[in-house]
Amino acid sequence: MPAELTYESTLRELATDQGVLRYHEAGEGPPLLLLHGSGPGVTGWRNYRGNLARFAEHFRCLVLEFPGFGVSDPTDEHPMMAAGGAVIRFLDGLNLGQVDVIGNSMGGIVATQVALRHPERVGRLVTIGGIGRNVFSPAPGEGIKLLAEFTDEPTRERLVRWLHSMVYNPKVVTEELIEERWRQATDPDTLASARRMYGSKAMAARAKAMAASDEPPYWAMLHKLKAKTLITWGRDDRVSPVDMALVPMRTIPDVQVNIFPNCGHWVMIEQKAAWESAVLAFLTTKEQG
């Protein structure tokens, strides 16, 4: 990463009527919004810091930090519910109309929901794992279960076990990664927010509410998605198994799927060069006709 693209040099703040949204900005060109996933100690910077230099050669990259994860100001809403509103507040606050969006896991779900509700705001959409629903594999996946165990009772050992479920290559889980995730994940406010999302009681309550709801889940509405879409996935994902891609692949009108071998949930980290090449080809290819 070039020296100028440090955490401090790229960090920005945007004041909104629901608190400060923090984000990282790098590069010039068409706007590209990058949305992070969830889980202990996650931030947008940690998800995308390794990819920022490459994308900044082509785009004005904006890495938004969702409320409720310890960087942007939290809101009163459940973090998953707050995320979509934060995206629209962010785009409005920066006077951005339509943007291309990359979303990792939860960020991909949020990006998809925004694209369904506000089709004029999302040009091209790239997702990294996470969207859709389990078709053949059990739900929740192994990584989600380990996430709930950690959230219920945070120990370093449980954090390490969860981190290993995120990757294919265990060497990705360094002591440095464990330490920075542990510090963020055990911050009292961040942990309280995580329990609202991934505590076993919260997950059981959400499953019960979804079973009783008359509202269709977002994955049942993917046939209405207007955005040209690229789905990227790790073949060896143990958090959101790759069979989840089948429903989006079949129902999104204009969609490509790229599955990367020897790769877990963090495709942009484990298959960095191949993933960046595929995504840049998708985002920069001119429309025919």
Residues with catalytic function: 265
The rounded distance, in Å, linking the Cα atoms of 203 and 181 is 22
The rounded distance, in Å, linking the Cα atoms of 280 and 57 is 10
The rounded distance, in Å, linking the Cα atoms of 53 and 272 is 12
Question: What DSSP string describes 215-264?
Answer: SPPGGGGGGG--SEEEEEEETT-SSS-GGGGHHHHHHSSSEEEEEESS--
Per DSSP, the three-state class of 34 is strand
Beta-carbon neighbour count of residue 17 at 10 Å? 6
- Whether 89 and 16 have beta carbons less than 8 Å apart is answered as yes
**CA-wise closest residue to 14 among 91, 117, 110:** 91
Beta-carbon neighbour count of residue 173 at 10 Å? 19
H helix intervals, the chain? 7-10, 44-48, 52-56, 79-93, 106-117, 142-152, 156-165, 175-185, 188-198, 200-212, 246-251, 267-270, 272-284
Contacts with 116 (C-beta within 8 Å, 6 or more apart), sequence order: 218, 221, 222, 224, 225
Strand partners, 20: 15
